[in-house]
Chain A
Amino acid sequence: MFILIKREIEDHLAYFVGAIFLSAMIIAILISAFYYSEAAGNEPVFFFLSIPAIVVLTIGFSSMGASQMYTDRNRKISTFLSSLPVTRCQILTARIITGVLAILVVLVPLTVAGTILWRLFAPPIPIFPGLIFDLSVVTFLMGFACYCLGLQTGWTTSRITPSLGGIILTCVFVPLIMIKGFGPQIKIILLLFIIASLIRTWQKFKHTAL
């Protein structure tokens, strides 16, 4: 399994580099937002910061999932791997673990930086203490949902479907988060979507001729 995960990471290294770059960029923007808002005596405007970040994350993760499946299908990677002591289940599991790792590469530094900044620049009014945790969980679930949709749409020979999948999902999730916030409802919706999407991906991947 480790070899398969390593292979997936090496094949999609660009996404991991992109994830690190994105994470670093958001942290830099956060620091400057906190610093300048405190200097100016205003609260940081997270709303305007979060929208482009969410859009980039959703498109990025869905394109990663789509890319993994699309390149597999086009280059017949699973066909080759299936001739080795590897099962389809292992191939897909390794792929999903890689996707989770890519999401964590963005999220873990962001969560750590967010927590530190929160403590350094404590807001004047009391705020729900689990906000950063909730925010991280929802972002993770949203990233993973996008990734799952990417996996599902990528397992097709069409070029249009994978591209459209990410855009449609972004259009659905961004307003959903804006309306519902980061509460338990959105977590349940995302979890249900992830489960359904993974089951469908597994069915398609298992039963398609390699």
Chain B
Amino acid sequence: MSENVVEVQNLAKYFDGRCVLDGINLKVPRGCIYGLLGRNASGKTTTIRILLGHERPTRGRTFLLGTDSTNLSAKIHGRIGYVAEGHNLIQNYRVGRLVKLCKNLSLHWNDKFFNHLMETFRLPMDRRVKDLSMGMRAQLNLSLAMAIDPELLILDDPTLGMDTVVRRQFLELAIDVIQKQGRTILFCSHILSDVERIADRIGIFAAGKLVVDCPLEELKTRVRKLRVIFAEAIPQNLYLPEVVNLQSQGREMIITAVNWNQQKQAILETYKPASCSELPMSLEDIFIECTKPISIPIQVEKWEM
């Protein structure tokens, strides 16, 4: 059995000549909760769609549960739970009919757990899917995806449209059920607090590239934001390795860098700054720094662990 449940190799995708994904390499080990972050149109959903075989890659290969995504069998699909962005449910079906269809087509169906979810979310079985609110559709989609006891759960912005209480309920359920059973989750969201709460590992997409791929804790410790003030003007020839963002105004420079250490500190000291202080960073700050358009051309490198 493959150790990596999700594997992406040198993935590239072009839409009408426009590059959406540019050489993505990604591995999600078994039992990991992987949080995929990125701004709108950064390539997260496209990556997920390629992984599931809904879209063909322009270049590169992707694997789910050890099988090439272009060749996923029904059995492999049966081991994957998927919640699509916007919840692609059959809109004109009644909830009961949709549930019955999913139940009949599934390889494994956990009736007890599904009923528990339906009771928790209070979903009406007699209403048409199109008549449900956005939040209820999200709950239904989640319940259907989780009822099959998936080995891999792919959630593309699953809490979109949910209120705070339901979102919290879902996250707790996700943590309890999936983590207990050693399942793997590929989780994509714009709500960073959700990702921070459940993810083990983080990947950040920026302009079609995966600029960050490391464990969450590691990411927090490795990214540093420094305020550097020079006595005179900022040196023209200033170069620091592994800088993800650099903003300057007058004599002040804000540097966001990865793997900050004594050696890099020593390099900075050679430019003789008047002061150098560290600014605190949350995951949101890290995300914004990583996805911000940079003011000067810097080689954005991928940080891997």
Which of chain A's residues 1-25 have a Cβ closer than 8 Å to chain B? 3-4, 7
Binds A, one of B23-31, B101-109, B236-244, B267-275: B101-109
Please give the distance in Å from A12's CB to the nearest CB on chain B.
12
**Residue contact B74 to A87, C-beta cutoff 8 Å:** yes
A3 to B74, CA, bound (A): 14
Please give the distance in Å from B260's CB to the nearest CB on chain A.
42
Please give the distance in Å from A209's CB to the nearest CB on chain B.
5
**Residue contact A85 to B90, C-beta cutoff 8 Å:** no
Interface string of B44-87 (1 = CB under 8 A from A): 00000100111110000000000000001111011010101000
Pick the residue among A4, A7, A209 that contacts B54 (CB under 8 A): A209
A3-B101, A3-B105, A209-B49 known; A83 vs B77 contact (CB < 8 Å) = yes
Q: Which residue of B lies closest to A2 (CB)?
A: B104
**Residue contact B54 to A82, C-beta cutoff 8 Å:** yes
Give the size range of A's interface with the partner: 10 to 19
A70 to B74, CA, bound (A): 24
A119 on the B face (CB < 8 A):
no
When distances are taken between beta carbons in the complex, the residues of chain A under 8 Å from B54 are: 79, 82, 209-210
**Residue contact A76 to B88, C-beta cutoff 8 Å:** yes
Q: Which residue of B lies closest to A209 (CB)?
A: B55
Interface string of A85-117 (1 = CB under 8 A from B): 111001000000000000000000000000000
**Residue contact B91 to A75, C-beta cutoff 8 Å:** yes
B89 on the A face (CB < 8 A):
yes
Please give the distance in Å from B43's CB to the nearest CB on chain A.
14
Please give the distance in Å from A128's CB to the nearest CB on chain B.
47
Please give the distance in Å from A158's CB to the nearest CB on chain B.
19
A7 to B103, CA, bound (A): 13
Q: Which residue of A lies closest to B91 (CB)?
A: A75
When distances are taken between beta carbons in the complex, the residues of chain A under 8 Å from B75 are: 85
A77 on the B face (CB < 8 A):
yes
Q: Which residue of B lies closest to A87 (CB)?
A: B74
Which of chain A's residues 177-195 have a Cβ closer than 8 Å to chain B? none
A85-B78, A87-B73 known; A80 vs B105 contact (CB < 8 Å) = no
Of listed B53, B54, B56, B102, residue having the most chain A CB within 10 A: B54
Interface string of A59-87 (1 = CB under 8 A from B): 00000000000000001110111111111
**Residue contact A79 to B77, C-beta cutoff 8 Å:** no
Q: Which residue of A lies closest to B79 (CB)?
A: A85
A76 to B107, CA, bound (A): 22
A75-B91, A75-B92, A77-B90 known; A82 vs B52 contact (CB < 8 Å) = yes
A3 to B90, CA, bound (A): 15
A3-B104, A87-B73 known; A82 vs B91 contact (CB < 8 Å) = no
When distances are taken between beta carbons in the complex, the residues of chain A under 8 Å from B107 are: 85
**Residue contact A79 to B106, C-beta cutoff 8 Å:** no
When distances are taken between beta carbons in the complex, the residues of chain A under 8 Å from B105 are: 3-4, 81, 84-86
Q: Which residue of B lies closest to A74 (CB)?
A: B91
Which of chain B's residues 99-126 have a Cβ closer than 8 Å to chain A? 101-102, 104-107
A122 to B60, CA, bound (A): 69
When distances are taken between beta carbons in the complex, the residues of chain A under 8 Å from B106 are: 84-85
**Residue contact A80 to B88, C-beta cutoff 8 Å:** yes
Pick the residue among A77, A86, A209, A210 that contacts B74 (CB under 8 A): A86
A3-B104, A85-B106, A209-B54 known; A90 vs B88 contact (CB < 8 Å) = no
A84-B105, A87-B74 known; A79 vs B88 contact (CB < 8 Å) = yes
**Residue contact B56 to A75, C-beta cutoff 8 Å:** no
Please give the distance in Å from B264's CB to the nearest CB on chain A.
44
When distances are taken between beta carbons in the complex, the residues of chain A under 8 Å from B92 are: 75
Residues in chain B within 8 A of chain A (CB atoms)? 49, 52-56, 72-75, 77-78, 80, 82, 84, 88-92, 101-102, 104-107, 145
> A76-B88, A83-B80 given. 11 additional CB < 8 A pairs?
A3-B101, A3-B104, A75-B91, A80-B88, A83-B145, A84-B105, A85-B77, A85-B107, A86-B74, A210-B49, A210-B55
